[in-house]
Amino acid sequence: MKSLALGTSSLSVSEISLGCMRISNMEPKEIDALISTSLEVGINFFDHADIYGQGKSEEAFASSIQRLRIAREDIVLQSKCGIRDGFFDFSKEHILTSVDGILDRLKTDYLDVLLLHRPDTLFEPDEVAEAFVGLLESGKVRLFGVSNQNPGQIDLLQASLPMKLQANQLQLSITNTGMIDSGLNVNMQIDPSVDRDGGILEYCRLKKITIQPWSPFQFGFFDGVFLDNPKFPELNEVLQKLAGQLGITTTTLAIAWLLRHPARMQPIVGTTSPDRVKQVAEASDVILSRPEWYEIYRAAGNKLP
């Protein structure tokens, strides 16, 4: 498994992360197998959020780490806060309270990374800065980032922060390519040319913010998996053909497609299957050619201008 530096920090992390949203209802032995397999294939980065399983996912993860006797320094923990029941909350009080709850559930003294989860239009940048500074100085959080934010929102927050934002978690998959489409269809009067994200792909590259694609196998907004889905016959035909030529699975290929982008992304993979974790990890050793990458892009229904 290749590694990358998160943003401009010195924190070295696996270039693929295991998302832990769905582990709250798994049996302990299943969670143990999932985590131990992840570490065996080189995935040391684990992504959480306080709303995953209403906190139970973090608790289940911590219990597994204790059972497996995994040292804290051998894993990188990221969690997110800011989503509440019916609204978003980036207030200082909520951020500080949320982090204390996260640390308690994860049974750790610190988070390697904290992300703000979904934009809060009522947020006060200086108030967030106060919370971040307090968390950094207390040793509770080492690095900070955001999730689902555009360049203007990031700049607004960054202007008040003494530390750099290192990551931005964004939805991206072969079938969810809006941030790529607009850059390929510049100056065209067609729907794919519409820039809905403020050029977030190029912005993150310029600012050296690590993009963390979430739901890399999903289409729409959690509408289902595109792999082997009859809704995407051409895409799956191409994926199966190329996967066969490369001697890998289509699961591996879908992640390799993301890793091929020079933005040096870190996909967040939410599988609960140890076998799929192994297939995902193989993507770290696959480098697609330009023709292969674009063939997959076109097969998903995208047209080049």
Which residues 6+ apart lie within 8 Å of 33 measured at CB? 274
- C-alpha 130/C-alpha 125 separation (Å) is 9
11 has pLDDT over 90: yes
pLDDT at position 222 is 81
The pair of structure tokens assigned to 261 is 């982008």
Q: Which DSSP symbol is given to 90?
A: -
pLDDT at position 73 is 97
The pair of structure tokens assigned to 103 is 């640390």
* Res. 257 pLDDT band, cuts 50 70 90: very high
Specify the 3-state DSSP secondary structure of 238.
Answer: helix
- All structural domains of the chain, each given as residue ranges with its CATH number in brackets, are 8-299 (3.20.20.100)
> What is the tens place of the pLDDT at every residue in 151-197?
999 999 999 999 999 999 999 999 999 999 999 999 999 999 999 99
Instruction: Select from 251, 173, 165, 240 the least CA-distant residue to 208.
Output: 165
Is the Cα torsion angle 57, 48, 136, 73 positive or negative in sign?
A: positive
User: Cα angle vertex 75, ends 69, 77, to 5°?
Assistant: 120
Mean pLDDT for 116-138 is 98
Is the Cα torsion angle 126, 131, 137, 141 positive or negative in sign?
A: negative
Specify the 3-state DSSP secondary structure of 280.
Answer: helix
Q: Is 110 a catalytic residue?
A: no
Mean pLDDT for 131-151 is 98
Catalytic residue among 52, 110, 203, 297: 52
State which amino acid sits at residue 53: G
What is the phi-psi region of residue 187: left when phi exceeds 0, alpha when psi lies from -120 to 50, beta otherwise?
left
Which residues 6+ apart lie within 8 Å of 240 measured at CB? 250
Mean pLDDT for 115-123 is 97
Q: Using alpha carbons, list the distances in angstroms from residue 297 to 112, 133, 175, 256.
A: 34, 42, 8, 13
> What is the tens place of the pLDDT at every residue in 264-280?
999 999 999 999 999 99
Specify the 3-state DSSP secondary structure of 61.
Answer: helix
Mean pLDDT for 205-214 is 98
pLDDT at position 223 is 87
pLDDT at position 116 is 98
* Phi, psi (rounded to 5 degrees) for 17: -115, 150
* Res. 220 pLDDT band, cuts 50 70 90: confident
pLDDT at position 221 is 83
Mean pLDDT for 93-113 is 98
